[in-house]
Structure 1
Amino acid sequence: MITCVCSFAQVDTAQLKRLYDRCLDFSEDKIDSIKYYADYISKEADHLQYNKGSVLSLRLKGIYEDLSNNYEKAIEYYLQSLQAARLIRAPEYEMVALSDLAIAYFAIREPEKAKEFYLQCARLSELDGKIPSLINTYNNLAVIYTQLKLYDSSHYLLEKAVRLGKPLERQGRINLSSTYNNLGNLYFKEKKYDEALIYFRQNHAKHTAGSDLNGLWVARLNLADVFIEMRQFDSATLYAESAMKLAQRLESKSKQADSYSLLAKLAEHRGDYNKAYQYIKKWYSLDTAILHSDTYKTIAALQERFHAGEREAENKLLQEKVEKETLRSRELTLVAVALAIIGVLIAIGFVIKRNAHRRLQETNDLIVQQNEKLSELNYEKNSLISIVSHDLNTPFATIQIWGQVLQNGSDRLTEEQQKAMSRILQAGLYGERLIRQILDVEREDIGSHKLHLEKFDLKAFAEEVIDNFKPMAAKKNIRLHADFSGKKLFILSDRYLVSRICENLLSNAIKYTPHGKDVWMSIHDEQDTVTIKIRDEGVGIDKEELPYLFSKYSKISSRPTDGEASTGLGLSIVKRIVEEINGRISCESELGKGSVFTVTLKK
């Protein structure tokens, strides 16, 4: 609920700062209030010409998006807050923005990027010299080093934080509970569970006596985890279920997802694979809702735009230097002409030639610098694509690991559960294939793919493809029809590449078809070729856009009917794969009536 701000009739900068501080203490159930006050502070700060207002407002907007699990928008606002803080030369807010960015990147499982921002924050904290700020920064860096398995560095930072903070803790000026909790996590990672338990219990006792429910949730989750590893399952169950109740009370999807993940781990260790499977399904539904794969691409683009701005400023400085040097060259030419009139033509000619050569060399050096900058930009773009594609493998690898764990206990599962487990593993493999699509589009050497030719029954293969897409179609109440009855039809081709062609086209047909309609897949045998047709009753494609349909990153006006994601990559990849196996692809479509994609392959 949003609290009225009518009491601020004569608002001043001090009141805006107090309002900002109040917002930082709001719980997750008051995130709408945070957004409201962020806009209010921005408006009033403009009226008062309060230069810190934009920093405060942008950070609150970032916190609102962060609590809403919209990490790409959160990072965008945090980057703007960082730029605003640097513009007004406010290092205290610059440190806050750097810390916010590090936390956000850590939340999306990019510890290297988080470390980069925390190191910047540490340098500012050491210059500032305030012990509480230093301790907080050392704590955060230690968490990152623990995540990266740099345990010695983590020990060093946490012990340094304890040495600095102990005198202040005795005076009651600071609380080192987070440091002790981080030490517990570090010992846990090192599998020193007895030492970890000491620190986790100490942290739990401090939060039980306080009012910080978020901290209490973390403490109980950690205790449950260490008891699982120590095989004290009754204690683990007590703390895990208590952590789940706290997560539900806080109405936090991310905390509920982590709690379900731990409950699944506990059930798996106890041998209750059915319960572990149920918890995994709940975790997966929450985790994928929080962090969709498109988020990684968007965040990478935001980071690139931020650095591109800094590089653009550098390029402008270089350009200004070039212009100044050109102006100076013109002045020297005029001087040379004036001196030539006086009569020292030979001497002046020599000076002009020497200076012109020097200026030309300097100009060439500047051009080389600019070319190097452009090369760096292109390299960073390619690196971002590779990094994002690599990091996206993590959630699919998790699905594969848990799926294999559950399959190992398949004798405990019903036939329907075993079939569902098989579908989960197939979905994980399909996700990994989609990740490879991004890299395939950017690679120029796709033609060097080594074909693996085999003879297989195309009709049986197509039946399997359709069966895999039935759950996807059922969500939209779409009926899938197969038109390839009759004798077997064998072709000699690359089974994997044919699979990618059919899966892309069938997935698109379902995406662009409204609820309750029909999609057909047919196979026709001709003399030396076979044709695969995918027909739908979807939204169709404008005739003017058909020539650009298979272009790389093409974006057509037609949109998926249920809000599904569309990158513009699929059809360009399909065309390249079809050509790779000496085939042809075409499309016939009409707006409002649907589309027919025809793939012709040699037998």
Structure 2
Amino acid sequence: MKYYLLLGTLIICVNSFAQVDTTQLKSLYDRCLDFSEDKIDSIHYYADYISKEAHLLQFNKGNVLSLRLKGIYEDLSNNYEKAIEYYLQSLEAARLIRAPEYEMAALSDLAIAYFAIREPERAKEFYLQAAEISEQDGKIPSLINTYNNLAVIYTQLKQYDSSHILLNKAVQLGRNLERQGKISLSSTYNNLGNLYFKEKKFDEALPYFWQNLVRHNNDGDYAGLWTARLNLADIYIEKHQFDSATKYALSAMELAQQLDSKSKEADSYSILAKLYEYQGKFNKAYEYIKKWYSLDTAILHGDTYKTIAALQERFHAGEREAENRLLSEKIEKETIRTRELTLVAVGLAIIGVLIAIGFVIKRNAHRRLQETNDLIIQQNQKLSELNYEKNSLISIVSHDLNTPFATIQIWGQVMKNDADRLSPEQQKAMARILQAGLYGERLIRQILDVEREDIGGHKLQLEKFDLRAFAEEMADNFKPMAEKKNISLHAVASGKRLFILSDRYLVGRICENLLSNAIKYTPQGKNVWISIHDEHDHLGIKVRDEGVGIDKEELPFLFSKYSKISSRPTDGESSNGLGLSIVKRIVEEINGRITCESQIGVGSVFTVLLKK
């Protein structure tokens, strides 16, 4: 069943005489509250920005806003311990400046966080404090939200009488305002239906779900309509009215896909799995459980994923430290080299251009060049050692994590072979255990595949080749892929041949990734271009498309490893967020640079500049 747990998004009016800058900070804060999960990095950035600007403006509420946004960032990142720490600081700061509206927001945030980590008793404590403030404030909509949230907690704690009292109070308070069109009690009616469902009073629950279905059909609230359909499917499953249950479960799935909501789609798969399980169609139930698990990652692999992510981050931190140390050494040597060349130039101007001095300078230059080459060879050896240590670490992690998953699979199969002695619920739990074990093994394999997908052990091989002819060849290779989507792929270059000294294989990987992405994110019937141009001491490769485009706020994170952007492939193609990070790493490996320009609805242009 789906509950409505309401986060009180408090839009507090700033005094009309306040400075424009503080109003802008408050508007920015309100905007961050509406950000989706794929923009959580932006939430953290704006939290720091608000803190810094508020300090300059002496805006005393800025610290409260910043702390709350940092808590929301950690909350969305599933780092609940850190989120609760920030929420507590926000609560303390709100009480310090005597701002009850922000105090109530912090209490609600804490309650939701504790509810998420399955500590409903702690969540209840904070909601009770929020209810006390709401009752003192006397604002009915806020009080109704608090009663709804408390009722959900009491329902989870199986304190059904308390839930009934709170929900009936919410209905009494809001009935007149709802008739006046000022508020909607649909969430209250939904929670009443869920309460009766928990009490297994299905006939009493059914009218509330029907009422919400009619209401959301009329007002066009598709998210609410999806909830009503899902709840109706659930209740008809319990009543063994499978035709009606199938109708509403499938319509809920269709609506979730229209809304492009992965969480709603995951819940729809879950209800379809339950439906087919009740009908004894275990194969179909199993298929939907797999789809549910593939979407609902927070349920499936939270602890395992965090462990692996922590190990990866530990390695990357060491790698970044080594790179920074190497860069510092290079800068220091370059500074010394520049100083020496300056002194030599002054000496030549005073003494004159003499053959003997010229010979000495040439010999010294040759020696320094040899030393530089030796340094480069040494650093390459160090980088190879670091890469080997990285691969060794990943192999150790995968081996150690594979062992418990293999054990789960072995004992699970043993118990499954004796499934006749298990109850249906136990058989269902056993199927989930086996599926979780398979998913964990697949996750480990995926991490190993990702690391292998980087440049890996490829040894740089420089050769001189015609980049114009190479681009035409790449375009020909991708024309079948483009033709499947009725996309016109063009290769544009000047008539003259443009030669470059570089690694042909790595340049090919760059073009393959960029062309593949351009075709994926371009609708049918549009155009994609690859062009070559000469820029002084560089040759440029441009890949331009007429695709969906990229939001400006996401461009700074476009080349980050594992990044996910809001834009999606136009024909359902897969994307793991790794291609562009690999392209950037390859470009830097061959001493080039890459940039992106994009506009939503118009398209994107990726430019790669490589030294001749």
Normalising by structure 1, report the TM-score.
0.47
Normalising by structure 2, report the TM-score.
0.46
